A and B are shown apart, each in its own frame.
Chain A
Amino acid sequence: MTQSNSSPQPPQTLVAMRGMGVFRSGRWLVRGVDLSIRPGEIVTLIGPNGSGKTTTAKAAIGILAPDAGEVRRSAGLVVGYVPQKLAIDRSLPMSVARLMTLTARASPAEIDAVLDRVGVLHLRTAQVHDLSGGEFQRALLARAMLRRPHLLVLDEPVQGVDFSGEIALYELISELRESEGCAVLLISHDLHVVMAKTDRVVCLNGHVCCEGTPSSVAASPAYRRLFGDRAAEALAVYRHHHDHTHLPDGRIAYPPGGGDHHHPAGCGHDHGADDEGRDAASGAKEEADAASREHDHA
């Protein structure tokens, strides 16, 4: 991958999160999340509604302050953000070109280039309120790219886009990563569409249920339990043991007496097996990769 176009790249990990938790209105939205994003990789967060995907992404880029754990960002990290919902009030006149320079200056030539890149150059002077869902998402993507970010954060970027548009948009995101060399943190509820383009998948449901390559996550029992067997790929590459079950609201059902308390990793009770599972996951990663390549050729 080339790294020619993005801002001077901080060499180390872009975002490092350890034991991150966010507590709101009397409950943990997410807790105990470990997540790191390295330059140039695509990390996808998947999980059901309310599983804390958006919360985790917001904590990663500093929009939310975590209530537990720590989040470290590399110095001078430039973020481009496409939020899940962005509604511009109709009272605010805004052309596509003007939207591009919302948070940073850019020359008309740069604006034209980035609009052309995402295929909406012809809409340059159109008002944002008149765009279709897909056109608006592309314009938002262009705006985020124009900043030459080290990290592009895309929260459900294919909303309001039909299926063929969805695939085209993911293709575009993947191409942009290749040409711009930025890392991408992608939030999706559908692993299948993003699978081929993702380096690493983190499956969330209030905590990290499993993580690894797309194929290994698809094959994991935790993923099956969340999304159903039909959603899971028939690639039983690795298994890791879950000691916990989820309550109907997605919280973890801890053993009686264990309580809903936060405990550090490796303290040896109830979640120990989960840690083993993750070790197994990383060990099985290469196998899983190999399997997925095989699968692709089949």
Chain B
Amino acid sequence: MLDDFFVRALLAGIGIAVVAGPLGCFVVWRRMAYFGDTMAHSALLGIALALAFDWATLPAVFLVSALVSMALVLLQRRGGLSTDSLLGILSHSSLAIGLVSLAFMPGVRVDLLGYLFGDILAVTKTDLAVVWGGAVVVAAALALLWRPLLAGTVNAEVAAAEGQAPERARILFMLLLAFVIAIAMKIVGILLITALLIIPAATARRFATSPEVMALSAAVIGAFASGGGLYLSLGYDTPSGPSIVVAALGLFLLALLPLPKLSASAGKPAASEPAP
């Protein structure tokens, strides 16, 4: 079964979506969408490093993303500039340095489009093992981190006063995000990872009444988006990463439609009033 490239792609996409959903909820709740983008952009610098020194791609990308997020933490503590300005600086400079470094390596053939937009249909069995191994690690870490991370998301000071160590939870969360970006890069590509984090979470918000329900729904919605996008990609020969994002957007728009009213009286009075 795993010999079929499409089955491998499907399983890899679902594996990523299942952890990107819950992590993406925290990205939405903490208003860190731009942060996700920044880390993803810095991944290109990681790829350049990996090629230059002949390292494995995944640890190099994780290392650079993690360093960029720690740089942000330090710059935030220093104060003076708003977080979005700092992120803009980090995001674009790491992307630019990555591209410039790649240009210095003329002997290296780089499939830049593959890195930017993902090449899920080229997923190997090893990739699949890395994705699912990584997903299990991230899911377990997130479960352990849940209470302090959620408490710190609601209010960092309350969490600190009540012994939840929110700053440590925040840093561990950033590292988890860097790790997910490193394993998701091959699937959806650097430029579209944030979409897989945010769109399923935003879609899940529509139906959720608790943080836990929203996280689980985001995982399920992300898995459907992954599957749907891949079928789209197979059927119409479209690039896989963008197809997944388009499918996620489709689900998001679907969720914007008003829910059918369960009680007949709820929405009626305004409509039944006589026109003035």
Residues on A lying within 8 angstroms of B by beta carbon are: 58, 61-63, 79-81, 83, 86, 88-89, 91-95, 98-99, 102-104, 127, 147, 153
Stretch of B37-45, B135-143, B160-168, B189-197 at the chain-chain interface: B160-168
Chain A residues near B184: list those with CB within 8 A.
none
Asked if residues A94 and B162 are in contact (CB atoms below 8 Å), the reply is no
* Distance from B265 Cβ to chain A, minimum over Cβ atoms (Å): 20
Closest-by-CB residue of B relative to A89 is B29
A153 to B31, CA, bound (A): 28
* Distance from A68 Cβ to chain B, minimum over Cβ atoms (Å): 20
A289 to B214, CA, bound (A): 55
A3 to B235, CA, bound (A): 70
* Distance from A206 Cβ to chain B, minimum over Cβ atoms (Å): 21
Asked if residues B210 and A81 are in contact (CB atoms below 8 Å), the reply is no
Stretch of B2-10, B110-118, B119-127, B148-156 at the chain-chain interface: B148-156
* Distance from A111 Cβ to chain B, minimum over Cβ atoms (Å): 14
What are 27 A-to-B residue pairs whose CB atoms are below 8 Å? A58-B157, A63-B157, A63-B160, A63-B161, A79-B161, A79-B162, A86-B154, A86-B158, A88-B154, A89-B29, A89-B30, A89-B31, A91-B28, A92-B154, A92-B211, A92-B214, A93-B209, A93-B210, A93-B211, A95-B210, A102-B150, A102-B151, A103-B147, A103-B159, A103-B163, A103-B164, A127-B209
Residues on B lying within 8 angstroms of A by beta carbon are: 28-31, 147, 150-151, 153-155, 157-164, 202, 205, 208-211, 213-214
Asked if residues A98 and B157 are in contact (CB atoms below 8 Å), the reply is no
* Distance from A63 Cβ to chain B, minimum over Cβ atoms (Å): 5
Asked if residues A153 and B161 are in contact (CB atoms below 8 Å), the reply is yes
* Distance from A71 Cβ to chain B, minimum over Cβ atoms (Å): 13
Chain A residues near B157: list those with CB within 8 A.
58, 63, 81, 83
* Distance from B154 Cβ to chain A, minimum over Cβ atoms (Å): 6
A89 to B211, CA, bound (A): 12
Closest-by-CB residue of A relative to B201 is A91
Chain B residues near A89: list those with CB within 8 A.
29-31
Contact for B211 among A62, A79, A80, A98, CB less than 8 A: A98
A14 to B60, CA, bound (A): 49
* Distance from B110 Cβ to chain A, minimum over Cβ atoms (Å): 37
A63 to B152, CA, bound (A): 13
A81 to B160, CA, bound (A): 10
Asked if residues B147 and A93 are in contact (CB atoms below 8 Å), the reply is no
* Distance from B27 Cβ to chain A, minimum over Cβ atoms (Å): 10
A127 to B213, CA, bound (A): 14
Contact for A81 among B153, B162, B211, CB less than 8 A: B162
Chain B residues near A102: list those with CB within 8 A.
147, 150-151, 154, 158-159
Closest-by-CB residue of B relative to A102 is B151
* Distance from B83 Cβ to chain A, minimum over Cβ atoms (Å): 15
Which of A63, A98, A103 has the most chain B CB within a 10 Å cutoff? Answer: A103
DSSP majority for the A interface?
loop
Q: Given the known A-B contacts A63-B157, A102-B151, A127-B209, are A91 and B162 also in contact in the complex, defined by CB atoms under 8 Å?
A: no
A291 to B150, CA, bound (A): 49
* Distance from B245 Cβ to chain A, minimum over Cβ atoms (Å): 20
Asked if residues A104 and B210 are in contact (CB atoms below 8 Å), the reply is no
A92 to B208, CA, bound (A): 9
A62 to B214, CA, bound (A): 32
Asked if residues A94 and B158 are in contact (CB atoms below 8 Å), the reply is no
A58 to B163, CA, bound (A): 13
A88 to B153, CA, bound (A): 9
Closest-by-CB residue of B relative to A57 is B161
A95 to B213, CA, bound (A): 12
Closest-by-CB residue of A relative to B164 is A103
A208 to B151, CA, bound (A): 33
Which of B202, B208, B210 has the most chain A CB within a 10 Å cutoff? Answer: B210
Contact for B158 among A81, A93, A95, A98, CB less than 8 A: A81
Q: Given the known A-B contacts A89-B29, A103-B151, A103-B164, are A98 and B159 also in contact in the complex, defined by CB atoms under 8 Å?
A: no
Chain B residues near A98: list those with CB within 8 A.
210-211
Chain B residues near A63: list those with CB within 8 A.
157, 160-161
Asked if residues B162 and A62 are in contact (CB atoms below 8 Å), the reply is no
* Distance from B232 Cβ to chain A, minimum over Cβ atoms (Å): 28
A80 to B161, CA, bound (A): 7
Asked if residues A91 and B205 are in contact (CB atoms below 8 Å), the reply is yes
A167 to B163, CA, bound (A): 31
Contact for A93 among B160, B163, B213, CB less than 8 A: B213
* Distance from A66 Cβ to chain B, minimum over Cβ atoms (Å): 15
Asked if residues A93 and B208 are in contact (CB atoms below 8 Å), the reply is yes
Closest-by-CB residue of A relative to B159 is A103
A61 to B213, CA, bound (A): 33
* Distance from B202 Cβ to chain A, minimum over Cβ atoms (Å): 8
A242 to B158, CA, bound (A): 37
